[in-house]
Chain A
Amino acid sequence: ENAPQTEAKNTAKPATAATLDRDSTCTTCHDENESKPILSIYQTAHGNKADSRTPSCQSCHGDSAKHLSNKSAAPDVIFGTKSVGSHAPSEAKDQNKACLTCHDKDAKRTHWEASVHQTADVACTSCHETHTAHDKVRDKKTQPDVCFACHKDQRTQINKFSHHPIGEGKVACSDCHNPHGSAGPKLLNKNTVTETCYTCHADKRGPFLWEHQPVTEDCTNCHTPHGSNITPLLKSRAPFMCQECHDGPHQSKAPAAGNVEGTQGGLTSVPNESFAGRACMNCHSMVHGSNHPAGALLQR
């Protein structure tokens, strides 16, 4: 939250006093008695009047001449996703146009046009609250709830037995994803899945002497990052997971079933270390790659 934020581009704007004067056209009626915190926008970056770029009410909501002459008429631009009283929100493209007047040119929004959120008519105000000092989507602890309003599968997955500390407020969706568009898959911050994961898991980057091909290509070949019933964030459990790619060497060819449960599961013979517990990874524990000269089989 304390990281410097990308600044809006500098465009010609009225001086501070003039901006406040223009605001007063609206704040004369829309005051502290509003059901929504209209005036608290002055606590936000959009209310820092000494910044020559700071907008007035009309900069975003339009001159709204009809509204000024007839209070029951809607202002030019109504933000949000729900109807308020008799006023329906403006179309997403019209809402976003107001925001992009200043925020359309910076590295974080370079790929907004034709991005999955843009084409799905997601409005800036679908996620951002511009009139409050605390914009939930820019707070690590509250951001996930904003994203889960649409991404409901992930809302369930982050509470699974194995998960990143998202619900605990230590990892946010935006640590991996850029909702404003990106050059990577799934709106990832980096160009590839592996590059994104390495920002925190640099120990898996290598390059290793003995590489594991699917590991070098895509972490999600084995892991599911939003949550799993199998630790650590695995799509499946060894030996079954390993057998999805191996059917020959060592015990990978052998069918496994109740024997993975060991003696307590009813097995009368001695449990096999290739099936029980960590199974294959009892010995082949360097599945992300080994840098040992005697570790070709990812055992060292």
Chain B
Amino acid sequence: LSAYAADDADALTKPSSSVDFGVLYSSQDSARFGQYNGLNKKGFYGLGGFDVRGGDGYDRDKNSALRWKLNGSDLGTTSRNMGASIGEQGKWKFGIGYDELRHNITDTFQTPYREDTGGNNFTLPANFGGTNGGVIPASRGLTPTQLSAFHTEKEYSTRRNGSVGATFSFTDSLSAQIDYNHLEQSGAKLIGTGSQAGINLLGGSTGRAEAVAMIMNPTSSSTDNINAALNWVGDKAHLTAGYYGSLFHDDYNSLNWQTQQTTAASNCVGINCYVNNSMSTAPSNSFHQANLSGGYDFSSTTKLVGGFSYGYNKQNDNYAPTLIPQISRNTPNPYNMMQANGLPTTSLNGVVETTHGDIKLTNKSIKDLNLSAGFKFDERDNRTDSNTYKYMQIANVAYTGVNTPYSNRKLQYEAAADYRLAKGQNLNLTYLHESLKRWCSSVVGGAECVSSPASEEDKISLTYRLKLIESVNFNAGYTYADRRADTTNFLANAGNYAVVTPVSGSAFNAGNYQGFVAYPYASRSQNVGKAGVNWQVTQKLDLALNGRYSYDDYDAQLGVQNGQSAAVNVDATYNYTDDGSVSAYWSWQNGQRNLTSGAVNNGVAAFTPSQIIAPKNIWSNKLDDNSQAFGLLAKQGGLLGGKLELIGDLSYSLDTTTYATDVPYLTTCATPASLTCGVVSPIKNELISLKLTGNYKIVENGKLSLSYMYQKLNSNDYFYNSQQFGYTPNRVMPNGLQDQDYTVNVVALSYNHKF
């Protein structure tokens, strides 16, 4: 209040511009703390930002609607953004923008590979030599030469997004709009790589299969997005015709690396005895979409709206090379990943057509009753050809694969009624029916390719809202959904098509045991309940409490059996003066999932997946995901004659994820040699953050801000155990990735000037 009281009317009606600059110090190198804020390095950062507005449109004495704006923030970090816009309101507007974001992933990754971040050809030092995946990591060890080859690479991905947009009004009822943005991505993200090192070696032996290494998969790509629309608005109707285009280009179509892992039997141990590998990257692709949407008012109480979209998605990037040159002295050169005549085409020529339609009729002609009825149609029609690809799989075993282009169609019918029982008391009833079909077109072999070719779902929701008294709002809702999925006759073309047998083997039920259903495709009943109350106790005090609970029950002998989630949120805000307030919240969330699965046939060899799993071979797994968060925010202005404002922000969160596995048929599952049952150490992340800010008005238009932030992350994740030197699985290259704990102190001083 005092801040406004100090201003005059002119200051309120004229545009307010500002510029701020300063310096920030961060106390620790941490990719995790600086994941998105650009403060990943210890040291000083410049702070800068501006928001400048002007134009005759702000001058009430001039008959002009022209206004312009320049803005920028976080200019001193890799999270900077800038923008500018100018327009004559109601006639035209033009804007440009730039946004940058560096996603810092990790600064503890170690690798012996020689390639800069962003490259796609990873080679080992010539003197690295081989390692034998046949012995345990500790005894295998890495030679001093090999260990000396490991160096740290900082993993990050940078996004730079430039945009330009404009609108133009031709007439009072006709306008056009176009937006374009160009997104450049650079850097890399870690990816697991299984080597096809099991290639033929002289003497009939093979190199070691599945030599795993984490590689810096380049994110060297660009995406151009275009949005164009022509809008017509009439007294009773409106219509928008639009185009959306998205063009993705990847600078690479393959990721190449060397594997040092061979066997003694191969006579391939030592200098330059590497297996060259190659895998694909994300293919360049394009998407063009025509959109039409609009509405018509039959009357002031009856309205019809709808839309239609047609999208054309094409991907015809050249396949990654399948002839891989080898430098290993004993290996065929080059190694052909494909069998004879196994490559039917050099690119996919993939085409997916997406179609959407929706229409909704709303009516309010009956007093206190709002009615609506709607229909939606969504189809993904994958028109890509199906072919047979014969190749050598990762363990150098002949493999025949048939690609299965997935298509699906979803129809939704919805009807809803919202009835006002009394003033401040409403009841809403909604019914939804969803019909879903899945298929593949012209699959080689013609077998059913999809999990759950069809499903039908009915959903009914009831919501009650009550304004108990003027200051208390209550709401409660319940939803029941029943999905009936067709899981019969499912004979996927998954697996090695060369050995597919129609009633059993790798194709039957996608190679899963009989009775197993993947949860997205299983019949399911769902119950959801939620309730909340908001109470404005006084003009100064507000309280809120809300919660929800959901329970999903899946009809599957094997697979996910059920899942549930619950949450409670409590909020309180106390505005003790016009200049002072305190708000606090507490939040609790829990999610659980229970899985029942079938294990190998308890010691009996050659167990066929298609067999019915014996009850004694059933095992179960429970996921328990817990989250708690607490926050406290206090503001006090008007100090020192209205010159000083203090802000304190404290937050705490604790997230834990635990897995518990029960294998009743194995009495020895908890032995240290197996540990196939029992509870996994929780994946735990605890974050504490405190931010204190003081804003002092040193001159009429100048404000000095001093802020301090303390943030601490305690992270404990077993994921990192098997990444360490001497502790990896046999054939996995260590990388030394570490938990991302941090304790960071940040101090920032900045000056903000308004004019």
A binds B: yes
On whether the beta carbons of A294 and B389 are closer than 8 Å, the reply is: yes
Closest to A8 in B: B90
- Check B4 against A206 for contact (C-beta < 8 Å): no
A66 to B513 alpha-carbon distance, docked (Å): 76
- Is the CB of B394 closer than 8 A to any CB of chain A? yes
Rounded to whole angstroms, the CA-CA distance of A219 and B685 in the bound complex is 24
Q: Which residues of A sit under 8 angstroms from B90, Cβ to Cβ? A: 7, 10, 51-53
A247 and B598 contacting across the interface, CB-CB below 8 Å: yes
User: In the complex the two chains form, what is the Cα distance from A263 to B384 in whole Å?
Assistant: 46
Decide if A293 touches B319 in the complex (CB within 8 Å).
yes
Nearest-CB residue, chain A, relative to B394: A299
| A152→B376 CA distance, assembly (Å) | 29
Return the contact of A4 from the options B179, B350, B560, B687 (Cβ within 8 A): B179
For residue A48, which residues in chain B have a CB less than 8 angstroms away from its CB?
A: 57, 65, 67, 89
By a CB distance below 8 angstroms, the chain B residues around A105 are 233-234, 237-238, 295
A39 engages B13 (CB within 8 Å): yes
CB distance from A234 to the nearest CB of B (A): 10
Which of these binds chain A: B23-31, B119-127, B585-593?
Answer: B585-593
Stretch in B143-151, B326-334, B729-737 touching the partner: B729-737
Tell yes or no: A221 within 8 A of B by CB: yes
A203 touches B394 (CB 8 A): no
Of B108-116, B639-647, B672-680, B700-708, the stretch lying at the interface with chain A is B672-680
Given known contacts A35-B1, A230-B683, A253-B609, is B285 in contact with A202 (CB within 8 Å)?
A: yes
How far does the alpha carbon of A288 sit from the alpha carbon of B18 in the complex, in Å?
A: 46
Task: Pick 26 A–B contacts, CB within 8 A, sort by A.
Answer: A39-B9, A40-B13, A114-B418, A119-B370, A153-B569, A153-B589, A156-B629, A165-B35, A168-B36, A168-B79, A191-B378, A202-B248, A207-B285, A208-B283, A211-B405, A230-B683, A236-B623, A243-B597, A245-B518, A245-B519, A245-B520, A249-B506, A255-B661, A255-B677, A256-B676, A285-B194
Smallest beta-carbon distance B583→chain A, Å: 11
B404 at the interface (CB under 8 A from A): yes
Q: Is the pair A209, B350 in contact by a Cβ cutoff of 8 Å?
A: yes
Question: Out of A35, A211, A295, which one reaches B4, CB within 8 Å?
Answer: A35
Residue A68, interface by CB 8 Å:
no
Asked whether, in the complex, the Cβ of A291 is within 8 Å of the Cβ of B283, the reply is yes
Number of interface residues of A (CB under 8 A): 135
Given the known inter-chain contacts A221-B520, A247-B598, please indicate yes or no for A273 contacting B678, CB distance below 8 A: no
How many angstroms from the CA of A160 to the CA of B90 in the assembled complex?
Answer: 43
B351 CB to nearest chain A CB (Å): 7
Q: Main SS of chain B's interface residues?
A: strand
Residues of B within 8 A of A205 (CB): 246, 248, 285, 287, 313, 315
Instruction: Tell me the bound Cα distance from A209 to B404 in angstroms.
Output: 8
A-B contact count (CB 8 A): 524
- The range of chain B's interface size is 35 or more
**Further contacts, 13 of them, CB under 8 A, given A107-B231, A283-B394:** A2-B85, A3-B179, A35-B1, A47-B13, A51-B65, A113-B305, A153-B548, A159-B629, A202-B223, A214-B520, A256-B676, A257-B660, A258-B675
Chain B residue nearest to A211 in the complex (CB): B406
A residues near B186, Cβ cutoff 8 Å: none
CB distance from A60 to the nearest CB of B (A): 17
**Given that A32-B4, A245-B519, A264-B721 are known contacts, is A114 also in contact with B15, CB under 8 Å in the complex?**
no
Contact with B along A102-129 (1 / 0, CB 8 A): 0001110011011000011100000000
Q: Which residues of B contact A82 (CB under 8 A)?
A: 536, 542
Interface string of B1-19 (1 = CB under 8 A from A): 1001101110111111000
| B518 near A2: Cβ-Cβ < 8 Å | no
B372: chain A residues within 8 A (beta carbon): 113-114
Assess the B319–A4 pair: CB atoms within 8 A.
Answer: no
Interface contact A300-B384, CB-CB below 8 Å: no
Min distance, Cβ B471 to any Cβ of chain A, angstroms: 7
Interchain CA distance A259-B15 in the complex, whole Å: 63
Residue of A nearest to B65 (CB): A50
The interface bits of chain B over 530-555 (1 if a CB of A lies within 8 angstroms of the residue's CB, else 0) are 00000010010010001010000000
Q: Is the CB of B16 within 8 A of A4?
A: no
A31 to B278, CA, bound (A): 71
A2 touches B97 (CB 8 A): yes
Give the distance to chain B from A9, nearest Cβ to Cβ, in Å.
4
With A240-B659, A264-B721 in contact, is A43–B14 under 8 Å at CB? yes
Q: Does B348 contact A (CB under 8 A)?
A: yes
Contacting residues, chain A, for B348 (C-beta < 8 A):
207-209, 291
Distance to closest chain A CB from B523 (angstroms): 15
Residues of chain B within 8 A of A291, CB atoms compared: 253, 280, 282-283, 315, 317, 319-320, 348
